[in-house]
Structure 1
Amino acid sequence: MPLVDLDRFDFLYANRVKGMKSSATRDLMATLSRPGIISLAGGFPDTRVFGEEAFREISANVAADSAQALQYGPTSGLEGIKDVIVDVMEAEGTRAYAEDIFLTTGAQQGLDLVGKVFLDEGDAVLCEGPSYVGALNAFAAYRPRILHVPMDRAGMIPSAAREALKKARKQGIHVKFIYTVPNFQNPAGVTLAAERRLELLEIAREYDLVILEDNPYGMLRFEGEPAPTIASLEQRSGETDRVIYLGTFSKIFAPGVRLGWVHAQPGILHKINIGKQGADLCSSNLSQMLIHSYFKHADWRAYVKRLTLLYKERRDAMLDSLAEFMPNEVHWTHPEGGLFVWATLPSYIDATAMLPRAVAKNVAYVPGEGFYANGTGKNCMRLNFSFVEPDKIRRGIELLAEVVRERMELRGDLERGSRTGDRLGERRSSSAVGTDRR
């Protein structure tokens, strides 16, 4: 569809459209399909690991009940898939009940439905800075304020979260919920420390907020001990109503099935049910039955283990390549799992402006500013390692380092030129003064 500078129906669009932005990753897709491009941009799981034979087998199982697979289903999801989700959440140490689970068309729809249910224009969401761009885009339709809280190696900084909430309260800003990706965060790759998860719960109680725990990567751990989910910590405290947990099959099965879930208390699920009825009526029965067939009859834990071993090898290749090729002025995170590394360039380098040069050298990444609602993060970039073979990762980082060095050398040339100009100006000024003396 052609792009136009002026849309003649602009006067008819809802105000909420003004806050909606396209995802930088989505916009890159056409470029990334170009032959020869090494894409470190997308957040793609490697679905090639699943295998054709396994797919044929589960498809045959579903075909035996094709009438139900091709029919409408309940808005909240089929009962069989809810039992699967109970098992998956139990594998991460979170107690779940089928009646507290609601199926969504990907966890992305869960983000949109939570925004629809909770946010009025001018309300606020407290979240990490940087934060998952898909969440920022989902919330943007409801025109909230986004309050970014800085992170360090242990995730969101609780004292900064408290300060942001205190400031918002003084300004009369109504914060509705805290949004966090606690495990191997997208885009930064860091994990929220266990003690900070408890502190985040305390902050939510203190300010009477909901916590939206988005956990797509929790089972993709390469090293270290897993931290308890925030939902499980709330359960241990005797509460069960403050944490909304989002899960997805995109990372532990396949993103193409577009199936996720919300685990929350009944009052919240009732509102989400109404919101989903108006959106798509129900998620695909076919997808639900494919997943049910696989998780009930195959060793899904072994499949996830194969994925994590593969991703660890690629993570290691990326970290080794960054250490080998990148200038000392560049820094990056060391994720213990997940799909992403977050790189920080010298402050004077604009990663968005640099991207066309990188693509011209056949390597791509996602610029950092898209992961902030306030335009910061310009000197940062998100690098994905899950979908690219180690040798291509190494070559991609080598090419990217060349582009970074070009930018740094250009900056050096400009600074040297500026200093030379200053010295010339000083000599001219000195000569003129001397002339006056004569």
Structure 2
Amino acid sequence: MNDQVEQTRMEWDNLFSDRANQLQPSRLTAIFQAGANPDMISLAGGIPDPAILPIERIRQATDTVLAERGGEALNYGNGQGITELREFVAARMSTDFMKVDPDNVVITSGSQQGLDLVGRVLLNDRDKVLVRNPTYIGSLSAWKSYNLQWEPIFSSGESDNLESVFQPKPKLLYFVADFENPTGEMLSEAQRRSLLSALHRHHVPVVEDNPYGELRYEGERIPTLLELDALSTGDGGMGSHVIYAGSFSKVLSPGLRVGWLVADKPFVAKVMQFKQAANLCSSILDQFVVYEAVQDGFLDDFILDLRQIYAERRDAMMDAMARHFPDGVTWTRPKGGFFIMVTLPDGLNAVDLLQAALPKGVAFIPGEAFHIQGHGPNTLRLSFSRYNPDRIDEGIRRLADVIRSKL
């Protein structure tokens, strides 16, 4: 056969959709790649320490699932999630005054897929969305292609005028109410109650993203927005204004990619139309492994261990910053979660500081990545989850030397 096809290269840049062209490569990729260097102390990612992941428990759970339910676990399954895991999540989230039905639960491929699905169901181009400022970068990236109008709320304390931020009416609110990424801060109960009152007055939903809620190291637990919304109904069921996103990533394993949404049933029905179009179902094997692993009280016991480990590491980082950082550097004090937000003296730029820090063997994330409208150039986020206290101390010492060199 002598006919030859003329070889050309596809000009993909001319074919990408307008929505695809809204997305750009993440500047954080290089930071996370730098963390793979064993000589690098990366305080950048909110990554669990591999040494404390429940490897043996997951191995046992996997063996049990494959031995007893292998044919089911390796096949397609219910797009909303296996019944057993949805029942477990519903029971775990139910309280004396709020019954969560398994039909209110959608199992997702991590909570990040949950955020993507929320966007697909609710958001149109140029919609107004209220968030804390700074806020979780994953929500900003998940919804970036919608060209949203972001507006800050509760970024300056209790005195925010809620009525003013609800004019014009937003489509949606997004919060990490407990131990927010990146600051580690949380909404007070008073803020949560006033927020829910405003949501009911204006008929606006809120996404409550809560991956760190069970990683509390001090203080009293504050009811979630989902729970407070249920209290307002007074009928023992769920409210309808809160879309709750949960995850097993921080309390079991991020590699299993199992999260969930809990929401009003009409919203769940619409979510399922998009989810089935996206991936038919989340990994059935992963769901069965998670369900098997959390049985017999293991999850509660493991979370207690995690609280002790991470509290020690938080304290180690706070102590190291107090000893090593120069005057003029301030930071938040989280009562839970993985993160601390650092504020540098005026005139220092965290992006420039990072370029000087990487050759010195320490990495962090500049705070402007978490701010809407490009604010926070002199802020940075640190994570204390990955390393033991000695390694944390060395990382802070290296960072302090770099900061001091720029003053």
**Shorter-chain TM-score above 0.5:** yes
Query: What per-residue deviation string (whole Å, max 9, x for no partner) do you get for residues 241-297 of structure 1?
Result: 110011001011110010110100111111110111121111000110001101124
Counterpart of 2:263, as a letter, is A
* Alignment TM-score, normalising by the size of structure 2: 0.92
For 1:87 and 1:21, locate their aligned partners in 2 and report how far apart those are by CA, in whole Å.
40
Tell me the CA shift for residue 18 of structure 1. 3.6
Paired residue type of 2:194: E
Query: Whole-Å Cα distance in 1 between the matches of residues 15 and 91 of structure 2?
Result: 47
Q: 2:184 aligns with which of 184, 189, 194?
A: 189
Q: Secondary structure in 2 aligned to 1:183?
A: coil
Match of 2:227 in 1: 232
Paired with 1:405 and 1:260, the residues of 2 have a C-alpha distance of: 42
Q: Which residue of 2 aligns with 1:331?
A: 330
The answer as to whether partners of 1:37 and 1:364 remain within 8 angstroms in 2 is yes
Q: Shift in Å at residue 143 of structure 1? A: 2.3
2:325 and 2:400 in contact (8 A); partners too: yes
Secondary structure, aligned partner of 1:175: coil
1:124-171 deviation digits (Å, cap 9, x = unpaired): 11001001001100011222222123525xxx65625443333xx1xx
Q: Structure 2: state its 5+ residue gaps.
A: 1-9
Match of 2:40 among 12, 32, 37: 37
Match of 2:92 among 61, 64, 88: 88
Instruction: Kindly indicate whether the alpha-carbon contact (under 8 Å) linking 2:34 and 2:42 is maintained by their aligned counterparts in 1.
Output: no
- Aligned AA (1:20): L
- The 2-side partners of 1:85 and 1:205 are apart by 26
Contact 1:21 1:137 in 2 (8 A): no
Distance in 2 (CA, whole Å) between partners of 1:350 and 1:127 is 24
Cα-to-partner distance string for 1:63-114 (whole Å, 9 max, x where unaligned): 1211111111111001000121123324898642111001111000000100
In our comparison, the structure showing a higher alpha carbon Rg is 1
Residues of 2 paired with 1:389 and 1:160: CA distance?
A: 42
TM, length-normalised to structure 1: 0.86
Q: Match of 2:243?
A: 244
4+ residue segments displaced more than 6 Å: none
Instruction: Give SS of 1:343's match.
Output: strand
| 2:20 maps to amino acid | V
2:271 — aligned with what?
Answer: 272
Distance 1:219 1:128, change over 3 A: same
Aligned length: 393
Tell whether 2:324 aligns with 1:296: no
The structural deviation recorded for 1:405 is 1.2
Is 1:164 aligned to 2:168, yes or no? no
- Distance in 1, Cα, partners of 2:95 & 2:366: 34
Q: Which residue pairs with 2:3 in the alignment?
A: none
Question: In 1, are the aligned partners of 2:247 and 2:260 still within 8 Å (CA)?
Answer: yes
Return the match for 2:104 from 100, 104, 119: 100
* Cα pair 2:130 2:173 within 8 Å, conserved: yes
Letter of the 2:64 counterpart: N
Query: Structure 1: 5+ residue runs without aligned partners?
Result: 1-6, 409-438
1:342 is matched with: 341
Distance 2:22 2:88 in 1: 37
Q: Is the 8 A contact 2:134 2:371 kept in 1?
A: yes
Query: Aligned pair in 2 of structure 1 residues 22, 96: CA closer, same or farther (>3 Å)?
Result: farther
Identity %: 36
Q: Which residue of the other structure, out of 14, 18, 41, is the alignment partner of 2:17?
A: 14
**Which amino acid in the other structure matches residue 285 of structure 1?**
I
* Pairwise CA distance, 1:318: 0.4
Mapped to 2, the partners of 1:294 and 1:158 lie a distance apart of 44
Secondary structure of 2:171 counterpart = strand
1:177 aligns with 2:193: no
* C-alpha distance in structure 2 between counterparts of 1:97 and 1:16, whole Å: 36
**2:62: which partner in 1?**
59
Q: Matches of residues 22-421 of structure 1 in structure 2 within 5 Å?
A: 22-64=25-67, 65-90=69-94, 95-149=99-153, 151-152=155-156, 157=158, 159-166=160-167, 169=168, 175-238=170-233, 240-408=239-407
Q: Distance in 2 between matches of 1:133 and 1:187?
A: 8
CA shift digits 1:213-266 (9 cap, x unpaired): 000000000000010000000100106111001100101111001011010011
